[in-house]
Amino acid sequence: MSGGIRRVGVVGGGRMGAGIAEVCALAGLDTVVCEVDAVAARAARDRVAVSLDRAVRRGRLEESAARDALARTVFTGSLEDLADRQLVVEAVVENPDAKTEVFAALDKIVEGRAAVLATNTSSLPVMRLGMATGRADQVVGLHFFNPVPVLPLVEVVTSLHTSATTTAAVEDFATRTLGKTVIRSQDRAGFVVNALLVPYLLSAIRMAESGFATAADIDGGMELGCAHPMGPLKLADLIGLDTVVSIAESLYDEFKEPFYAPPPLLQRMVEAGLLGRRTGRGFHTCDQG
C-alpha cells in the first residue's frame, strides 16, 4: 500500500473500538468510528474523550495532543462513511453472526482495491469472516488488548487466504505507525494469548465454584505468590464475563477439550447480568468503567 495506511475506520465504539480509534488518532491518522446510530456514536466519542482526558491527568499525554486527536476523529452512525478507508477494523460484539454481517456489508461499501478489512476478534476464525467477503485475501485478524492505549501487544492472525501483501501492510501499520509489538498466530481459536489465558481463567472460576478458595484468596495467591499484576478473577471481571464465555465457547467448539468449556457458575453469572467491571459486579464488586 503506497505511502502506508493513513485513513482508518473502526466499526464499533465500545471499550475496544474506542481504544483502537484513540491510538489511531494519536498516531496522526484520519480516523472514522462507526456505530449503530447517532446516539451510540456520541457515546463512543465520550469514551474516547474520557480516555484522553485520563491520559492527560496522569501525565502520559499533553493536553494539545489529546485535543488534536479528538478533533481528527469522526464519529458516525453510517457504514457508508467508511467507503474511502484504507483499513477498517471491526470491533463489534464477539458474536459470529454480528461480525459476519459487518464484513459482508464492508465488502460492498469499502472502495479501495487494496483496502484491508481487519477483525479485532478474540477467538473467532478469521477465515469465516473473510469468506463473507469477495476479498478474503485482504481480510486479517488484528487483535488488540484492553486497555488498547496502554498495552503494547497486537496479534496478527492470518487465514489460509490472507495475502502476504495484506500481512505486511498490517504489521507495518501496527509496529511503525502505532508503535505496537506484533506477535503472529495461525487462524486457530483463541490465537496465542487467549488459547493460553482462558483455560487459566476457567480453572480459577472452577476453583471458586467448588468452594476450594474465595475469589479474594485466589487472586491474592496469584498476585502475591506468582507476581501476576492482576489475579485471574479480577482479570475475568476486567475482560467481561460475557466475553470470557464467548471465547471459551469458541475454543471448545474448535478443540473439544473439557478445560475450554465454560463452567456453570460463569454461565449463570452472565445470565444474571453480572458481567464484571462493566456492570459493577462480577467475582468482585468493582467500579464501573
Residues serving a catalytic function are 122, 143, 155, 194
- Work out whether the CA dihedral 186, 191, 195, 196 comes out positive or negative: positive
Whether the Cβ atoms of residue 200 and residue 235 lie closer than 8 Å to each other: no
Question: How many CA atoms, within 13 angstroms, populate the side-chain half-sphere of residue 63?
Answer: 1
DSSP per-residue string spanning 70-116: HHTEEEES-GGGGTT-SEEEE---S-HHHHHHHHHHHHHH---TT-E
Compute the CA torsion angle 251, 252, 257, 258 (nearest 10 deg): 120
- How far is the CA of 246 from the CAs of 18, 47, 154, in angstroms? 20, 24, 20
| Furthest-apart CA atoms within the chain: distance in Å | 58
Please tell me the distance from the alpha carbon of residue 135 to that of residue 7, in angstroms, as a whole number. 19
Can you give the length of the chain in residues? 289
Which helix (H) or strand (E) covers residue 206, if one does? helix 193-209
